[in-house]
């Protein structure tokens, strides 16, 4: 699903010191631009191999994946005011930890004793962790617990009936039948207001993912 991920940009709506990315995976795409605005970033993922792969790049170790095209793209988004090398250095400096995370648990960060974050972002994670709408609401509530009062939430996920995607030969499933009204209601139940949701049509082959659209939303916790 890498090509479907949306680079998260925050041109000033949410501010603060500390940002958490829930379900970072083995990649840096969702936090590239975030590192310009937040000096303390915590990454997290359920899968140990994803955390290890991410740590390889953060440590600038041999064999780490080459994210140069994405660094170049982010540099262009920032008006070429910073070089790709500057952005890589900035991000490595900003990421303070890569932690285990399970959004199905009341405390997704397990036994880590961390204060709630100024902003929590998550891309294509909560949807994939759930099979039903009820489970989605519960997982969203678990993620909401990681956002401080007055803090921000940024989510990217699937809309309009998409319930599967493939990575290589492996098939994965999303919670089906998510729509905008359901998202708004779920966010309100989790204590969020000031909700803005944007939809993006999917151009993916149905053999890769059967979703018709993606959503990108922002919300503020009361």
Domains of the chain: 2-221 (3.40.50.150)
Burial class (CB in 10 A: 0-12, 13-18, 19+), 42: buried
Mean pLDDT of 145-174: 80
Which residue from 217, 215, 218, 204 is spatially nearest to 2, judged by alpha carbons? 204
pLDDT tens by residue, 165-210 = 666 777 667 777 788 999 999 999 999 999 999 987 766 655 656 6
Report the alpha-carbon distance of residue 124 to residue 116 in Å, rounded. 21
Location of structure tokens 């631009």? 33
Determine phi and psi for 201, rounding to 5 degrees. -65, 145
What pLDDT sits at residue 5?
40
Yes or no: say if 106 and 155 are a contact pair by the CB < 8 Å rule: no
pLDDT tens by residue, 94-148 = 999 999 999 999 999 986 778 999 999 999 889 888 888 899 999 999 999 999 9
């Amino acid at each position: 699903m890498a090509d479907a991920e949306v680079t998260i940009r925050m041109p000033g709506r949410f501010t603060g010191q500390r940002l958490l990315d829930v379900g970072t995976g083995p990649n840096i795409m969702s936090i590239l631009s975030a590192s310009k605005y937040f000096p303390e970033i915590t990454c997290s993922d359920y899968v140990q191999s994803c955390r290890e792969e991410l740590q390889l790049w953060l440590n600038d170790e041999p064999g780490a994946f080459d994210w140069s095209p994405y660094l170049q793209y982010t540099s262009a988004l920032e008006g070429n005011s910073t070089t790709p090398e500057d952005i890589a250095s900035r991000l490595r400096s900003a990421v303070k930890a890569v932690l285990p995370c399970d959004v199905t648990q009341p405390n997704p960060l397990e036994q880590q004793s961390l204060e709630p974050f100024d902003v929590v972002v998550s891309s294509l994670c909560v949807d994939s962790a759930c099979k039903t709408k009820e489970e989605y609401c519960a997982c969203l509530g678990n993620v909401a617990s990681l956002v401080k009062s007055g803090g921000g939430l940024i989510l990217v996920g699937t809309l309009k009936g998409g319930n599967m995607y493939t990575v290589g030969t492996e098939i994965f499933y999303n919670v089906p039948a998510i729509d905008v009204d359901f998202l708004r209601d779920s966010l309100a139940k989790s204590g969020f207001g000031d909700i803005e949701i944007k939809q993006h049509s999917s151009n993916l082959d149905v053999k890769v993912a059967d979703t018709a659209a993606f959503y990108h939303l922002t919300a503020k916790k009361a």
